[in-house]
Structure 1
Amino acid sequence: MDVDASSPRRPTAPRGLGFAEVHTLVDDDSTREPARTPVGFTVTSERFTHCPPAFKHAVQESWRDAVQQLNGGRQPVTILNAFGKAWEIATAYLTPKDIALPQQDIAVVKAAVDYVAAAQMGPALLKFYDESLSRQIPFLEREIDAYMAAWESSRDVATVRKLVARLFEWGRAWAPAVELGGAFDGIFYTTFKSNLHIALPPSFPEAFVYLVQSTIGDLSDTDLFKELHMLGMLDRYEALVASVVCEQIERQIETLCPGKWDEPRLPELRHWLGDKVVAWLMEQYSRAGTSASNSIPGHNVIVQEAADRFDFHICKTMCDLRTSEIFDMIVDYPDSMPALLDLKECMQRVDQRAHLVTTLRRLNKRRLLHPGADTKDILSQYVSTIKCLRVIDPPGVLLFKVADPIRRYLRERPDTIRTIVAGLVGEGSDLIDETEANAPMQTAVEDYSDPNWEPEPIDAGPDFRTNKPSDVISTLVSIYDSKDLFVKELQVLLAERLLAITDGNYERELRNIEILKLRFGESALQVCEIMLKDMTDSKRLDQRIHSTNPSVLHSTVISKHFWPALNARGIKMPGQLQEILKAYERSYILQRPDKRLHWIPHLGTVKLEIQLKDRRHEVDAAPMEAAIIELFSQKETWTLDELATSLGSEAAVVRKALSKWLDMRVVREDSPHAYRLLEEAEEDDGQTGLREATPIAEDERPAVISLQQQQAEQMRVFWRFIQGMLTNVGPMSTERIQGMLKLAPGYDRTVEQLAIFLDSARREGLVDAKDGVWKIVK
């Protein structure tokens, strides 16, 4: 070894230890006295035989100087004995042994280690310590096998806890004293931990998970994390600790949140996370010796980072749960507003917007957009979807993506417009809020001077516009390309409602029209105003007629050219009913000489007073029913055909009207289609049951022809144009047919409506389509 001759450091044998001095053999020239060779050393001079004399002499002088410095002027054997004793003490201490054996005096061990280090043998001692640790691992394997066998048989977490404590005892017993320096400590933690983890069986991670689960929120075990840290398990199984906490979070959310939307749950979960999990982590990691600078008061950096990850997992799990429940949350709106706000906050941290859109579209297709769902229910769900998604995403990107299939499906439903209009004018409708009903129609206008303008969201599609109409009514009306369809449907609905009013109170309808003027404009509702004016004018005119010529008849006079088409049903009013109509018409001509009345006798109500031999009836009847009983006043027996001929109506309509008098036992069916007036009541002989078993034809046609019926009639007219185009020009696409039909007077259909009509014509075998091109079937 090379020793600096000028260095004052010399190995000194500790007093009382009896160290032997180092005795070294040096190869010298023949004139010197032969050196003594200690046991265990073999020295040869053959290597110097062929060396130059100068080089040989230099090496010998250097070797003698080094030995002289090492021996310190003492005999070589004394130094050799001292080093051997120091090595024996140090290696005996550093060799892992059973923890039941007594430990050596650390002061003596420290002196021995220092002596070995001074002799430049420190690296050899460290290597010896490293190899000794690896050789003594079987001590741990026996303990581990015993405890793990007990765990696998009992599944008792206390067994795992005892194993950790036992391993900690072994580690503490084998760990070098602090006085020996950091080099031994580093080797111990590196070698001991690596060999310990190799010795642990594959089933230990599962047992470790159960152990951590049992301690979450429990701060009574003050030594566990300290022991786990010393054994290196916190670092090795950090992912398992995180997974255990995540499982606890998921279990907590499954307990508190599913189906509970009336209260915000996210603050409660975060409070639980702080009180239970974060406090547990801070307490345990601080006991494990972890230290870091504080980023938030009361939290160290490592725990704060873990808390942020766990808060993210809360948001992720909550977002998954609420996304799976989003359809039912929309149904339950507005009671589900707290849950929607939770979902909004979670989605600001967890980017699952695309997943929400995909899930909601799938649920809508499966649970909403099918023939079994009522149109009113679909519209109600659509309105709630609009409101809910505006809570979650105010810019409206999510709504734009979710609403498209709903809007396309509603356009294909024939009663969508009527249902929307009924929601606009109906009482107690849940489609439209009162505040929204009174607001003007919103339109999409680009405002380039808005100082608060913001760019469109990053996930917005190319067709998305941030400034689209935001109120519900405008959104519903925008389902169709033109609002004229709604105005026409509104006229039909208003006509039905006005004709159904019998007390002359039109305030509700007048209020609805004034509100809808704000939405559709005054010019669009001018016809509706004329209809209302007809009703009020008819009331005043009827009062003037009765003031000059009193009558039992009260009429409603409407303007033919401004009202929707009515379902006409011819009835020849018999007897006194016809005389009453003629008398009233003569009085009307006196008031309005330039006008003539065209009666619609099947619309209205007749108050009858029927006097029979043994009883008297007062009843409100339809004009057809009154006409039938008037005929029985002329003759007691009638057949169904005779009644239909006399009234100028269909037999099915007459039979339906007869059912009222049959039920009241005023008329009796003696034989099929033969009826007799019952002046005197008769006993029930089973004829009622026979009559009820006979099917009665229903005629439920409304007073006003619906918009769909009107459109169908108009399209039959336009069919002649289509037929002529396809015959003369040849096969054409839907768009080309639409462009040419726009030249026809009165044509105002959309491409979608034309496509529906052509498809119905295809089903009837009139046209055929191939690759979007239509042609006449010859």
Structure 2
Amino acid sequence: MANDAFSAQVAAKWQEAFQRLNREAPGVSGLISFSQAWNLITEVLRPKDLRDPVEAQKRQQFSPADVRLALNVMVESRRLPPLLEIFIEGIRKSFPIITGEISLFMQEYENTHDPVTIQKLVFRVLHWYKGWSPPTELGQGVINAFTLSFQTHLFAALPPTFASAFKALCAATLTPAPLSTPSTPSTSTSTPQQAISAQSSIPNSPALWDAFSQLGFIDRYESIVASVGYECIEEHVQSTCKGRWDKPVIEELRAWMAGRVVPWMVVIYARGAASPEEARTMLQGVGSRFDFHINKTLCDLRTSEIFDIIIDFPDSMGALQDLKECLQRVDQRTSLVTSLRKANQKRLLHPGAATKLILSQYVSTIKCLRIVDPPGVLLYKVADPIRRYLRSRPDTIRAIVSNLVGPAAGGDDDDEEDEDPLVDENEPIVPLHQPDQEDLTDPNWDPEPVDAGPEFRTNKPSDIISTLVSIYDSKDLFVKELQVLLAQRLLSIKEDTNGFERVEKERRNIEILKIRFGEAALQVCEVMLKDMSDSKRIDSHIQAQHTSVVHPTIISRHFWPTLESSTITMPGQFQEMQERYAREFTVFKPDKKLKWLPHLGTVHLELHLEDRTVDADVPPLEAAFIELFSQKQTWSLDELIADVGGIDRSAALKALLTWVDLGVLKEDEENMFRLLEFEEDEGERIIRDPKNVPTAPDVPPPTTAQQQQAEQMRVYWNFIQGMLTNFGSLPIDRIQTMLKFAPGYDQRVDQLATFLEAARREGLVTSMDGVWRLNR
């Protein structure tokens, strides 16, 4: 039974297949016509060896009508799928012919590196592709299957080096060169070496890109094609824009791309456009990517140059405008911050850079980054390391204050006069900005930028001076430094014709600074200026009562910064003149008493020797020493120091060498000096370089604001020591609270922390987890 059923099933299948192939024709006539159609189609689809002229001409022997008729027979007989499988298998078996030719072309390219060789290869492969492509009468489905199979075998046959060779060919189409007649696919049966014989420049012809498209190269190597345009843009930006900061170049670059790169892009991406509008639509996406790359490349270049751009400001305004526009298009803000911070750390924030230079670069950074990023997020991220480094420098406050008040009136400090000011003279003078809480009810309120940190505030200080002062938590240090600097300048004013003008100049400076710091903060400076006027008036009164060659500057001890003390005692006539002047002062001011600072000031001396007169302006110590030589002609260094007071031996020796260099004294033996009543011959004297002759130095500077603060904190060390002794250990907040009960304590907790840290370095205290204790 099973064999009968199986036989019946096979017979039914056989009958069905016969009827399908015979197509219900009488007898076997249908089967004969199917066989003829099959032979015709398989011969048409069989991959020919195009190197053989006879084989290459075989397809042309079949008429399109016969092919269409045979195709209809295959469709009716439902034998198209098996036919297609045979066709695809034939391509696989015949493809080694193409592979061999590819190897020959690639070997030639490896020897010459001429992209024309790759152009020949492309057109040769396209010749094979068209020679094996099925007739259009077979339908799009067969053509698509063939294309997929051909490209699959082609990409498998291409060596790894083809990608770089293809890139060189694409780059050659963009490189300016005399255009030749576009190459067209060869239909001859020439060998690969004979396909294109002349090596020439490669025009950006549609025929070449059509060949790329048909062979699938554009889709497969899309990133390589784009990279050619990108690299051309990068090379042009580097060669034409590097170091050009005076004017914006972004529009110039876009105009260059429109004239150079866009025509190249049209051939690639808009070959089938029927009108300029259609081409513009087709290029919209790729054009946007290329414009983005222009912005990115220019942004990368300006990011690498940003430190020098800031140095060159304001002559680099054009580069800053370009950078601002580029950052709106590309997300390079983090890269800009990282690059500038690294450059600052390497080229600016190191001990070799002067504080004034760092401040100048910081101010330029503020101005530049406000142009690039008005909200100030980039400045906030870049400025933080600069501000922290400036806080660690002891002369930062003085450098800022010195720039605020400008060079001393009538001074000789050429360096200060030559330096560029930190603040533009045209910038309006405004009070120091104090950041307030954000007013969320403000109708003009804007949210913070998305890349702003948690500590960023949009209502940051807006003017340069407020930004510099905000480096420190309080403006008190600046006010104290102003007092110190004003004291130094006022004390350096000598009794000359322009002394009044210099005082008035300082008074005008203080009036300007009152606008910034407020009236109350500069009351002490007002007292100091008043002391100068009062001193002049008091001296005029005393001189009217009793003429004296002494013209002291009388200051109020409680309102002036602490001045360096000295134990010098002026001998002889100097002491008599001081005492006489002090008595006259007491008569005029019975409730006050003068305390002399004999180491400060300048003494004009006229020395009458036996054969000459010597005029000199010297410090008081030099005057004291030469006065002692009026008592006897020879003194030892130790005797001079004992009579004048406890002074440093090096300072005493330097003072004596002043007179040695002037030819008034002579060192006969080591530390033994003799007065020269008669000038020695030039041959007997030691001739010194005039540059090395000591001159009357400036007034020793008062202690700085930071030094005063440290001295003030040392006063409260006994209080801190007593607390830690009684309580064992205390956190800093508790120490701060208890110190507020000490008389005159006005320090902040951060100042207390700085003092405790200094005490820890000296080994006086220890700290663990924020708790301080004495170091036993």
**Do the two structures share a fold, i.e. TM-score over 0.5?**
yes
Once residues 21 and 747 of structure 2 are traced to their aligned partners in structure 1, the CA distance between those partners, rounded to angstroms, is: 113
Deviation of 1:136 after TM superposition, in Å, equals 2.5
Alignment of 1:597-636 (within 5 A): 597-636=594-633
2-structure distance, mates of 1:686, 1:170: 108
Give yes or no for contact 1:565–1:704 (8 Å, CA) kept in 2: yes
Letter in 2 for 1:720: N
Determine the structure 1 residue equivalent to 2:481. Answer: 489
TM-score for the superposition, normalised by structure 1: 0.83
CA distance in 2 between counterparts of 1:378 and 1:369 reads: 7
* Alpha-carbon contact 2:524-2:559 (below 8 Å) kept: yes
Aligned to 1:752: 750
User: 1:251 maps to what in 2?
Assistant: 235
Question: After alignment, is 570-579 or 205-214 more displaced?
Answer: 570-579
Partner of 1:657: 655
Change (3 A) 1:618 1:252: same
Matched, 1:473 2:457: no
Please state whether the residue corresponding to 2:629 is helix, strand or coil: helix
What fraction of aligned residue pairs are identical, expressed as a percent? 52
1:690 positional shift:
11
Query: Equivalent residue for 1:305?
Result: 285
Secondary structure at the counterpart of residue 63 of structure 2: helix
Displacement after TM superposition at 1:651 (Å) = 4.8
2:361 maps to 1:381: yes
Partner of residue 643 from structure 1, selected from 615, 640, 644? 640
Does residue 344 (structure 1) correspond to residue 342 (structure 2)? The answer is no
Specify the alignment match of 1:187 in structure 2.
145
**Residue 279 (structure 1) aligns with:** 263
Measured in 1, the distance between the counterparts of 2:478 and 2:397 equals: 6
Task: State the Cα distance separating 1:582 from its structure 2 match.
Answer: 4.2
- In structure 1, what residue type is equivalent to 2:742? A
Residues 11-63 of structure 1: CA deviation (Å, up to 9, x unaligned): xxxxxxxxxxxxxxxxxxxxxxxxxxxxxxxxxxx999869xxx99xx99999
Once the two structures are TM-superposed, the CA of residue 747 in structure 1 deviates from its matched residue by 1.8
Instruction: Give 1:13's aligned residue.
Output: none
| Distance (whole Å) between structure 2 residues aligned to residue 771 and residue 64 of structure 1 | 99
Corresponding position of 1:707:
705
Question: Kindly tell me: are residues 772 and 630 of structure 1, through their superposed partners in 2, closer, same or farther at Cα, counting changes over 3 Å?
Answer: same
Q: Does the CA contact (< 8 Å) of 1:106 and 1:177 recur in 2?
A: no
> Is residue 582–residue 594 contact of structure 2 (8 Å, CA) maintained in 1?
yes
For 1:161, the equivalent position in structure 2 comes to: 119
The match for 1:539 is 536
For residue 766 of structure 2, give the secondary structure of its aligned residue in structure 1: strand
Alignment of 1:584-603 (within 5 A): 584-589=581-586, 591-603=588-600
Structure 1 residues 256-290: Cα deviation after superposition (integer angstroms, max 9, x where no partner): 44555444343344333333223211123344x4x
For 2:258, the aligned partner's letter is: G
1:411 aligns with 2:391: yes
Seen in structure 2, the aligned counterparts of structure 1 residues 322 and 673 have a Cα distance that, compared at 3 Å, is same
Deviation at residue 493 of structure 1 after TM alignment: 0.7
One of 99, 115, 118 as aligned partner of 2:69: 115
Q: 2:677 aligns with which of 676, 679, 684?
A: 679
The question of whether the paired residues in 2 share the 8 Å contact of 1:607 and 1:621 is answered with: yes
1:483-532: CA deviation from partner (whole Å, max 9, x where unpaired): 12211111011000111123312233122211111111011111111211
1:450 aligned onto 2:448: no
For 2:434, the aligned partner's letter is: T
Q: Distance in 2 between matches of 1:776 and 1:685?
A: 66
Alpha-carbon deviation of 1:722?
Answer: 0.6
Name whichever of 221-230 and 568-577 sits farther off: 568-577
Q: SS in structure 2 opposite 1:607? A: strand
Q: Once structures 1 and 2 are overlaid, which stretch shifts more, 661-670 or 737-746? A: 737-746
Query: How far apart, in 2, do the equivalents of 1:343 and 1:205 lie?
Result: 35
Secondary structure at the residue paired with 1:525?
A: helix
- 1:141 maps to 99
* 2-structure distance, mates of 1:513, 1:196: 85
Query: For residue 328 of structure 2, what is the amino acid of its counterpart?
Result: Q
Which aligned pairs between 1:40-59 and structure 2 lie closer than 5 A?
A: none
Number of the residue aligned with 2:493: 501
State the distance in 1 between where 2:425 and 2:241 align: 33
| Matched residue, 2:42 | 91
Distance in 2 separating the partners of 1:64 and 1:729: 114
1:216 aligns with 2:207: no
Cα distance in 1 for residues equivalent to 2:350 and 2:265 = 52
SS of 2:520's partner is coil
After superposition, where does 1:7-26 map in structure 2 within 5 Å? none
| 1:694-746: CA deviation from partner (whole Å, max 9, x where unpaired) | 9x9x9998242222332232222100001100001111223322222222222
Distance 1:748 1:262 in 2: 51
**Larger-gyration structure (1/2):** 1
Gap runs ≥5 in structure 2: 180-202, 408-416
Counterpart pick for 1:773 among 764, 771, 774: 771
C-alpha contact 2:492 2:698 (8 A) present in aligned 1: no
Q: Number of residue pairs matched? A: 720
Residue 200 in structure 1 maps to residue 158 in structure 2: yes
> What residue is the counterpart of 2:379 in the other structure?
399
Structure 1 residues 627-636 or 257-266, which shifts more?
A: 257-266
1:323 aligns with 2:314: no
Answer yes or no: is the 8 Å Cα contact 1:421–1:489 preserved in 2. Answer: yes
Counterpart of 2:425 in structure 1 is 434
- For residues 66 and 278 of structure 1, the distance between their equivalents in structure 2, rounded to whole angstroms, comes to 58
Which one is further off, 654-663 or 388-397? Answer: 388-397
- What secondary structure, in the 3-state scheme, does the structure 1 residue paired with 2:510 have? helix
- 1:620 to 1:450, Cα distance in 2 relative to 1, 3 A: same
**Which residue matches 1:736?**
734
Q: Secondary structure at the match of 2:606?
A: strand
Change (3 A) 1:593 1:775: closer
User: Residues 123-178 of structure 1, C-alpha deviation per residue, up to 9 Å, x if partnerless?
Assistant: 25545444433333223112111111111222222211211121122223333455
CA displacement, residues 539-582 of structure 1 (integer Å, 9 cap, x when unaligned): 34434444554443333222222211222324333344344444
Conserved 8 A contact 2:44-2:59:
no
- Residue 266 of structure 1 pairs with residue 250 of structure 2: yes
1:729 maps to a residue whose letter is F
Shift of 1:367: 4.1
8 Å contact kept, 2:337–2:381:
yes
Conservation of the 8 A alpha-carbon contact between 1:110 and 1:180 = no
What secondary structure is seen at the aligned counterpart in 2 of 1:250? helix
Q: What is the deviation of 1:253?
A: 3.7
Measure how far apart 1:480 and its partner are. Answer: 2.3
Amino acid at match of 1:339: A
| CA pair 398-745 structure 1, distance change in 2 beyond 3 A | farther
What is the identity, as a one-letter code, of the residue corresponding to 1:198?
A: A
Distance in 2 between residues matched to 1:720 and 1:508, nearest whole Å: 43
Q: Helix, strand or coil for the counterpart of 1:561?
A: coil
What is the SS of the residue equivalent to 1:665? coil
Shift of 1:440: 1.9
SS in 2 for 1:440: coil
Is 1:424–1:437's contact at 8 Å kept on the other side of the alignment?
Answer: no
Structure 2 length normalisation: TM-score?
A: 0.83
Instruction: Check the 8 A contact 1:534/1:558 in 2, yes or no.
Output: yes
The one-letter code of the counterpart of 1:444 is P
Deviates more, 1:390-399 or 1:206-215: 390-399
Q: Is contact 1:87–1:112 with CA below 8 Å preserved after alignment?
A: no
- 1:424 aligns to what? 404
- SS of 2:773's partner is strand
What do the CA deviations read for 1:610-664 (whole angstroms, capped 9, x no partner)? Answer: 3333333322222222232233233222222222233234153332221211111
